[in-house]
Structure 1
Amino acid sequence: MIEEKTPAFWRATLALCCGSFMIFSNLYVTQPLLPEFQQAFGISTLQANASLAVATLMLGISLLIYGPLSDALGRRGIMLITMLGVVLTTFALACSPNYTFLVILRALQGFLLGGLPAIAIAYMGDEFSKKALAVAVGIYISGNTLGGIGGRLFSGFMADAFGWQASFLFAAALSLLCLLIFWWALPASCHFKPKQISLPGMLKDLGSHLRNPLLISVYLLGGLNFFIFINLFSYVTYLLADDPWRLGSSLLGMLFITYLSGTLAASISGRVAAYLAQPLCMALGVIILMLGSLLMLIPSLWAILTGLLINSFGFFFCHSNASSWVSRQATHARASANSLYLVFYYLGASTGGFYLDPFWKALHWPGVILGSLLILLITLGLSLWLWRQDPRSLSQIN
C-alpha cells in the first residue's frame, strides 16, 4: 500500500492533481465565453448556457458507466483513454463551424470528462493506506478547485485577447501537458482486484450502495451542499451586477478566485480528520458554509466577498471528507460507490437554481439566503446522524 509522505505518495497525488485540474478546467472553460457565444452565433442566453449545462449533465450520466466499468477492467487505463479523448475534443471545439456542432462536441467532451472523477478516488482507495487516503483525497480535491478557477480565468483572458477559439486551443495544449504528467507519474495499480463484467452485477452493486443508509445519507449530503453552494455563486452575480455595485462581467468572473479558500480547506481536511471523526468534519464544514451565507446578508461588497471565501472553505472542507468517507464505507465496488456520490453531486448542481429561483423572485437576495439555510439545516442534520450511526466514527473519538 502507498503510505503517506513516501515518493510513491507524492507521485500519485501529483498525477491525480494534474488530472483533476485538467478535467475541471475543461468543464468550466465555456462559462466566461457565454456572452461571446451569444454574439458570435446570434443565440439566446438560454442557448448559450447549454454549452455548460450539457457537459455537466453528460459528466453526471457517465459516472454511472465508468465506475462499474473500472471495477471490472481496471482504473489507470480508463482514466488515460478518457483524458486523451478530452484533449482531442477540446482541440476540435476550437474548429466548431456552428453552435449546434459545438454543443454536440461539449456533450461528448462531458461524457469523456467523467472518466477520471468516477475512478480517481476508487484508485486511491485500492492503492493508499487508510491514513494516506484521507490526506490524498484532500489534495486531489484541491486540484478540482484550482481547475475550476483556472479554466474560468484563462478562458476569459484568452477570449478577450484572441477570441473564443483561442480559449479552447489553450485549454487543449494545457490538457495535453497534464495528460503527459499523469501518464508519467501515476503508479500502476498493484492492489486492484478485477470483477467480471456483468450488467446485472453492476446494477446489483449500485443497488446495494443505494440501500446502505450510511452511503445514501452522504450522497444526499454532498448533493444538497453543492445544490446550494454552486447556485449561490450564480445568484450573487445577479446581485452584484445590479445597483449599487454594477460590476462588469470580467469582475464578476473573478469572483471564482474565492475558490482558493476551498483549495486550502481541501488540502487540510485529511489532517483534521485524523483528530476529528469525519462526519463531525462534515458538520463543521456545513456550519462554516451557513455562517458565510449569513455574512453575505450585510449590504457591503467586502462582506459578500468574505462570505464567498468562507463558503468556499466550508463547502470544500465538507466535500473532501465526504468523498474520502465514501471510499472508507464502501466494502465492495468502490468505484461504483464513488460514482454514485458524484452523480448526486452533479445532479445537485444542475437543479439548485430551480429551487432558489422562487426565493429570489419573492424576497430577492435575503430570500436566496433563507432558501439556502433551509437546505443546509438538512445537510447538517444528515452529518450529525452519520456521526451517531457509524461505529467507526464513534470509536475514533473514544
Structure 2
Amino acid sequence: MPPANSALTPDSAPSFRRVAIALFAAGFAVFAQIFGAQAMLPAISDDFDLGASAAALTVSAATLGVAASVLIWAWIADRIGRVQAMKISIVTATAIAFVVPILPTFETMIIARVALGVALGAVPAVSVAYLAEGLAASRVAVAAGIFVSGNTFGGITGRLLGGPLSEIVGWRTAMLVIAGLSVIAAITFLVLIPRTRRPAGGDTSPYPMRTRILFQLRDPVMLGLYAQGFFLMGSFGAIYNYLGYRLELPPYEVPATLVGLLFTAYLFGTAASRFAGGRVARFGALRVILAGITLMLVGLALLLSPTLIGVIAGLVIFTVGCFTAHPVASGQSGVRAQLGRSQATALYQLSWLGGTALFGWLAGVVFDEFGWPWTVAFVAVLGVLAALFAALGLRVFADRRPVVPAR
C-alpha cells in the first residue's frame, strides 16, 4: 500500500481502495454525528422537559448547519484543495462533537449542534468533486456508491446505538459514545485519504460563482429536482423524528429501548437506491421519481395502522419509496446541469438538508398540537408537492430551460 501522503492516481487499484475506505469512514463520521441524535429525541425531551418539535431542533440544527455551509466549503476547497478542506472539516467537527453533550442547557447545545453541522459541511460539499478529479471515470460511480454506503451505515449505527444507550446510560453518554466512534472513523480518513494530482487551487470555470449558482435557480428542470430533495427528505426526517414518540404511546407502547430498532428499515432504503438507479435508463427519471413518491404515500397510509406490524410495513414501504426517488433526483442534478455542475449538485445538497431541517421541526409542531394522524397528513402533502414539482420541472417546463450565457 502506498504511503498515506501519496497522490491519488486514477488507475491505481491500491489508491482506489484507499479512497473507498477513507470516504466510507468520512461518510460514517458525518452521518453518525448528525442523525445519531434522532433516536435520542424522546430522552432529550424528558431531560429538558420539551415537546417533540423543540427536541427535534437537535437534529435540525445540525442539518441546517451543513446546508448553510456546503457552498462555502465548496468555495474554500477550490482554494486550499479538496483533501485539505475535508481534513479540517472532520477534525473540527469531531472536537465539537465531544463538547455538545457536556453543555448544561438546551440552548447552548443547539448552538453547538449548528457549529457541528457547519464543520461537517465539507465532506458532502466536495467529496464527489474529489472523486471526479482523482479517479478514472469508470470508478467514480463505484466510489460514490461506497461513500453513500458509509453515509447510510453511519446514520443507521448512530440511530441504533443512540436510542437504547440514551435509555440505559442517558443521551449525553450516548452522544459521547457516537463521538468516540466518529474519532475512529476520522482517524481512518486522515490516514488513508490520498491527495489528487490536480493542484489545490484553480477554479478554471470561465463563469463567476454567482453566475453558476443563479443559473441553476432559473432552470425549471433543476428547480424541479431541488424540490425533490427539499420535500422528500423533509418528509423522511419528519417521520423518523416523530414515529418513536408515537410508538411509545397506546396502542403500541413499544419500550424506548426497542424503538431504535425500527431504524433498521433504513437498510431497505439502501437496497432501493441501488435498484432505482438502474431503472432510470429504462423508464426515465420522472417515472422512477413518481413511482417512489407513490410508494411513500402508500407507506404513510399504513403508518396509521392500529397494529405494530402494519406500522412497520408502512415504514419499510415509505423508506423504500423515498430512497427510490431521492437518489435518482440527486444524480439527475449532476447529469442535467448545463452549467456549474459542482454548484448544481451542492444546491441539491443544500435543498435536502434544508428540507430535513425545516420540515423535521415543523412536523413536530403539528405532532405536538394535533397528533399523529395530522402529522402523517402533513407529510403526505409534502409528497404530493414533490410529485407536482417533478412533473412541472421534468416534463411541463422541461423545454423552457435558460440558454447558457456567452463567455
Q: TM-score, normalising length from structure 1?
A: 0.82
CA apart distance, 1:112: 0.6
- In structure 1, runs of 5+ residues without a counterpart are 392-398
Q: Check if 1:295 corresponds to 2:292.
A: no
- Contact (CA 8 Å) 1:51, 1:106: kept in 2 or not? yes
Q: Quick one: structure 1 residues 163 and 382, their matched pair in 2 at CA, closer, same or farther if it must change by over 3 Å? A: closer
Looking at structure 1, the residues matched to 289 and 145 of structure 2 have their Cα atoms a distance apart, in angstroms, of 13
- 1:116-265 alignment to 2 at 5 Å? 116-128=123-135, 132-190=139-197, 194-195=201-202, 201-265=208-272
- Contact (CA 8 Å) 1:69, 1:197: kept in 2 or not? no
- Contact (CA 8 Å) 1:82, 1:112: kept in 2 or not? yes
CA apart distance, 1:20: 1.0
CA apart distance, 1:132: 4.2
Looking at structure 2, the residues matched to 172 and 104 of structure 1 have their Cα atoms a distance apart, in angstroms, of 17
Which of the numbers 85, 91, 105 marks the counterpart of 1:84? 91
Q: Which moved more, 1:297-306 or 1:279-288?
A: 279-288
Q: Deviations 1:224-246 (Å, cap 9, x if unpaired)? A: 11122221234433443332112
Q: Check if 1:326 corresponds to 2:329.
A: no
CA apart distance, 1:126: 3.4
- Contact (CA 8 Å) 1:122, 1:334: kept in 2 or not? no
Q: Quick one: structure 1 residues 279 and 262, their matched pair in 2 at CA, closer, same or farther if it must change by over 3 Å? A: same
Looking at structure 1, the residues matched to 138 and 389 of structure 2 have their Cα atoms a distance apart, in angstroms, of 24
- In structure 2, runs of 5+ residues without a counterpart are 1-8, 400-407
1:395 aligned residue: none
- Contact (CA 8 Å) 1:138, 1:269: kept in 2 or not? no
- Contact (CA 8 Å) 1:266, 1:317: kept in 2 or not? yes
CA apart distance, 1:211: 1.9
Letter in structure 1 aligned against 2:258: L
Find the residue that maps to 1:148 and give its secondary structure.
Answer: helix
1:44 aligned residue: 50
CA apart distance, 1:80: 1.2
Find the residue that maps to 1:30 and give its secondary structure.
Answer: helix
2:74 aligned residue: 67
- Contact (CA 8 Å) 1:142, 1:267: kept in 2 or not? no
Looking at structure 1, the residues matched to 176 and 364 of structure 2 have their Cα atoms a distance apart, in angstroms, of 35
1:396 aligned residue: none
Q: Deviations 1:157-184 (Å, cap 9, x if unpaired)? A: 4444444443233223211221222234
Q: Quick one: structure 1 residues 205 and 70, their matched pair in 2 at CA, closer, same or farther if it must change by over 3 Å? A: farther
- Contact (CA 8 Å) 1:32, 1:156: kept in 2 or not? yes
- Contact (CA 8 Å) 2:39, 2:241: kept in 1 or not? no
Q: Which moved more, 1:180-189 or 1:73-82?
A: 180-189
Q: Quick one: structure 1 residues 122 and 381, their matched pair in 2 at CA, closer, same or farther if it must change by over 3 Å? A: farther
Q: CA RMSD in A?
A: 3.5
- Contact (CA 8 Å) 1:134, 1:324: kept in 2 or not? no
- 1:299-318 alignment to 2 at 5 Å? 299-318=306-325
Looking at structure 2, the residues matched to 211 and 202 of structure 1 have their Cα atoms a distance apart, in angstroms, of 15
CA apart distance, 1:106: 2.0
- Contact (CA 8 Å) 2:251, 2:306: kept in 1 or not? no
- Contact (CA 8 Å) 2:228, 2:386: kept in 1 or not? yes
Looking at structure 1, the residues matched to 348 and 15 of structure 2 have their Cα atoms a distance apart, in angstroms, of 27
- 1:99-114 alignment to 2 at 5 Å? 99-114=106-121
Looking at structure 1, the residues matched to 169 and 377 of structure 2 have their Cα atoms a distance apart, in angstroms, of 42
Q: Quick one: structure 1 residues 262 and 238, their matched pair in 2 at CA, closer, same or farther if it must change by over 3 Å? A: same
CA apart distance, 1:85: 0.7
Q: Quick one: structure 1 residues 106 and 373, their matched pair in 2 at CA, closer, same or farther if it must change by over 3 Å? A: closer
1:28 aligned residue: 35
Looking at structure 2, the residues matched to 310 and 61 of structure 1 have their Cα atoms a distance apart, in angstroms, of 31
